[in-house]
Amino acid sequence: MSTYRAFEVTESRQFRLVEREIREPEPGQVRLRVEACGVCHSDAVAAEGWRADPGTPIVPGHEIVGVIDAVGAGVWGWQVGDRVGVGFLGGQCGHCESCRRGDFVNCSDQPQTGTTVDGGYAEVVYVRSSGLVGLPKGLGALAAAPLLCAGLTMYRALGRLSVRPGGLVAIQGIGGLGHLGLRYAAHLGHRVAAIARGEGKAELARHLGADHYIDSTVEDPGQALRALGGADAIIATASSGASMNGLVTGLAPQGQLMVVGATADPMTVATTDLIFGTRSIGGTLTGTSIENEDNLAFAQRQGIQPLIEVMPLWEAPAAYTRMMSGQARFRVVLDTTA
């Protein structure tokens, strides 16, 4: 093959299927033949034109599984034929101040896959080698793709919490992030409460590992969590700052609210709800490539798989629209081999 197919997007949802010339990877890069790519809500930054220059074409997608078929100069530890993944953070530079202090997540010169560099709505993608994630043997591409972003986000958020074994962890939202959060939290041995809208999700939440279900349309989540003794931690996954406003009141003393759902609208909190009880609010952004390998290994050992809908690459615009509509249950994955 001398060319490959990719879906570029400009402005707001102006998708276009194009053919590009295959080139050799640049120094420090590898070239992947894409097997699968998850469709994530964060793809909206590219697809809705929220970039600095939305008129410049970009290929969305940052939950990529593929096989290395070419290795650039200066790359070590990876070879042709390796099955790998790529997440949102496309590989630390190793030279900026954050990298020199070991804070690779906050590298100031790191590509954002599918946002600042081309991503996985394509048959081929070029990746900085420091962003590569080795895949465990036996983990299929379609199941692995959402774990590379949604799974890692929840894995890292849970890992940053100071929760005693058996402590109560609440997951707000049962969507692409939240459904995996319930499974991860349960397999880590926590007592788990799910917070969502409507009684219709209660059975699913319990199937995914929740011990308690809170319907936010009929009861105040903060009050409901206090009735359970207070949450040691709450992970907020909903794409709505307003929906997070009352969560802090449901925290036990020393409790933590960890925000992973990105949204444009602000959240508000009473200062007294933080001070009295010594509660805190934080945020977390996916993780490094080695943390992602830990995440995949954990998910495979525990038998955790995302609930997915599979669509072929040529239906990428429709797949994105379905994800944004909230109708997908719960992650859409593009299959480039279909």
| Per-residue model confidence as pLDDT tens for the chain (338 residues) | 799 999 999 999 999 999 999 999 999 999 999 999 999 999 999 999 999 999 999 999 999 999 999 999 999 999 999 999 999 999 999 999 999 999 999 999 999 999 999 999 999 999 999 999 999 999 999 999 999 999 999 999 999 999 998 999 999 999 999 999 999 999 999 999 999 999 999 999 999 999 999 999 999 999 999 999 999 999 999 989 999 999 999 999 999 999 999 888 999 999 999 999 999 999 999 999 999 999 999 999 999 999 999 999 999 999 999 999 988 989 999 999 98
Write down the pLDDT at residue 251: 98
Write down the pLDDT at residue 264: 85
Which is it for strands 191-196 and 212-215: parallel, antiparallel or unpaired? parallel
DSSP state of 101: T
Write down the pLDDT at residue 1: 76
Q: Which domains does the chain have, with CATH numbers?
A: 3-149+287-335 (3.90.180.10), 161-283 (3.40.50.720)
Write down the pLDDT at residue 239: 85
For 161, the 3-state DSSP assignment is: coil
Neighbours of 21 (CB within 10 A): 7
Helix, strand, coil percentages (3-state) for the chain, rounded to 5, are: 30, 30, 40
pTM passes above 0.85:
yes
Write down the pLDDT at residue 263: 87
Q: Are 179 and 157 in contact (CB under 8 A)?
A: no
| Residues in CB range of 52: below 8 A, 6 or more apart | none
User: Can you name the residues that pair with 4 across neighbouring β-strands?
Assistant: 20
